Amino acid sequence: MAPSLLPPWPDLALSSWRETRDTLHMWTQVVGKTLLACPAQNHFWHCALHVSARGLVSAVPILRGDRSVEIELDLVDHVLVVRSDGRSITTPLVARTVRAFHEEYLGLLRAVGLDLHIWTMPVEVPRPVPLDRDEVHREYDPLAANRFWQVLRRCDGALKEFASSFVGKQSPVQFFWGSFDLALTRFSGRRAPERPGADFVTREAYSHEEISFGFWPGGVLQSGATYEYPMFYAYAAPEPAGFRRAKVKPEAAGYEERLGEFVLPYEVVRTSEDPAAVVREFCQSVYEVGATLGRWDREAVESEPSPRHIPGADTHIAP
């Protein structure tokens, strides 16, 4: 692989920012729950955040009559920004409890004329504490938060490059505040078998056959399982026979039984000569295994990657 022209991908060892990571997770849940008021999209995509040029921003605006509201966690200047119809108000992102953040955030929404009730119970975490009573999570290291965004924006770019060769139904690259991960999902076009006993959110999320890819910074799962390292992941749902026994690329990737996913440690990616290419190789390898074993109509949903330069156009992106 040719050496990357981009700056090195930052170190993101969980031990260096665990408390900030957990606080930021709860803050994104406060903001994310607001998006439940947005016009619904399939698989709850309207609730996700997107990586922006400065941090994490609401994927779609909250609409109220003829007004719209957009929310951004700016991890460069470390401010929470609420924008509404040309007006912006902010509050600094500094060390404070989740309870205090929740109260101040609702005050910002009221200042732009949006009076919402937010369901305060966090999701997808062990031993959840209601957001309006959480006095535990209070640490915020701006350097660590910015480093996390630096990683997310690189992962976002690599996943978007990978997405360019698929013409079937495919999600945006988006950040899910419940699981605290960046994700991209491809669909075969067929409905999936219904999951017995699944709640409404899970039924909708996995209503159709899919292969998902993403990045997770590590931490403690709802099950209580702890992963001390950040990772890239990929899985198929439903998982076809033989999937978990398949050999995928690169060599460092493997199937993690506890997760039911293929994983690739972030450290392997960031220390490679071309990290983005390694991410794409991993995703493509798992996709080919899943789509082949799952008998997807690959000819119908695949294409050559989109060109960087449109013939006859003056604007292009240099390699």
For residue 207, the model assigns a pLDDT of: 83
Query: Which residue among 95, 111, 127 closes a domain?
Result: 111
Whether 169 and 93 map to the same domain: the answer is no
Q: What is the pTM of this model?
A: 0.92
Q: Position 56: which residue type?
A: L
| Tokens, residue 235 | 């899985």
Please indicate, yes or no, whether residues 49 and 149 belong to a single structural domain of this protein: no
Does residue 39 form part of some domain? yes
Contact call for residues 93 and 105 (beta carbons, < 8 A): no
CB 175 within 8 A of CB 56: yes
Better-predicted residue by pLDDT, 203 or 191: 191
Confidence of residue 317 (pLDDT cuts 50, 70, 90): low
Domain co-membership, 160 together with 277: yes
Residues 152 and 285 grouped into a single domain: yes
Say if 196 falls within a structural domain: yes
pLDDT over 70 for what percent of the chain?
Answer: 93
> What pLDDT score does 71 carry?
95
pLDDT at 286: 98
> Would you state the pLDDT for residue 67?
78
Beta-strand pair 226-227/208-216: unpaired
pLDDT value for 59: 77
> Do the domain assignments include residue 127?
no
**Quick one: 163 and 274 in the same domain?**
yes
Can you tell me the mean pLDDT for 41-49? 83
Helix (H, G, I), strand (E, B) or coil at 248: coil
Token readout for 194 is 């219904």
Q: Is residue 163 part of a domain?
A: yes
Residues 223, 292 within the same domain: yes
* pLDDT band, residue 5 (cuts 50/70/90): low
What is the Cα–Cα distance from 52 to 223, expressed in whole angstroms?
30
Report yes or no on 45 lying in a domain: yes
CA-based max dimension of the chain:
58
Are 156 and 64 contained in the same domain?
A: no
Q: Residues 261, 293: contact at Cβ < 8 Å? A: no
d(CA 89, CA 69): 11
- Kindly report the average pLDDT of the chain as a whole number: 91
Which residues 6+ apart lie within 8 Å of 44 measured at CB?
Answer: 201, 204, 205
| Confidence band of 48 (pLDDT split at 50, 70, 90) | very high
- Are 147 and 104 within one domain? no
Question: Is 136 inside any structural domain?
Answer: no
In a domain, 315, yes or no: no
Report the distance separating Cα 148 and Cα 166, nearest Å: 28
pLDDT range class, residue 111, cuts 50, 70, 90: very high
Domain co-membership, 75 together with 165:
no
Residue 258: inside a domain: yes
Model confidence pLDDT, tens digit, residues 19-40: 999 999 999 999 999 988 777 7
Give the model's pLDDT for residue 26: 98
Q: Are 67 and 206 within one domain?
A: no
Token code pair at residue 89: 């108000």
Mean pLDDT of 31-55: 87
Contact 157, 61 (CB under 8 A): no
**Domains in the chain: how many in total?**
2
For residue 276, the enclosing domain spans 142-301
75 plus 24 within the same structural domain: yes
Give yes or no: residues 32 and 157 share one domain.
no
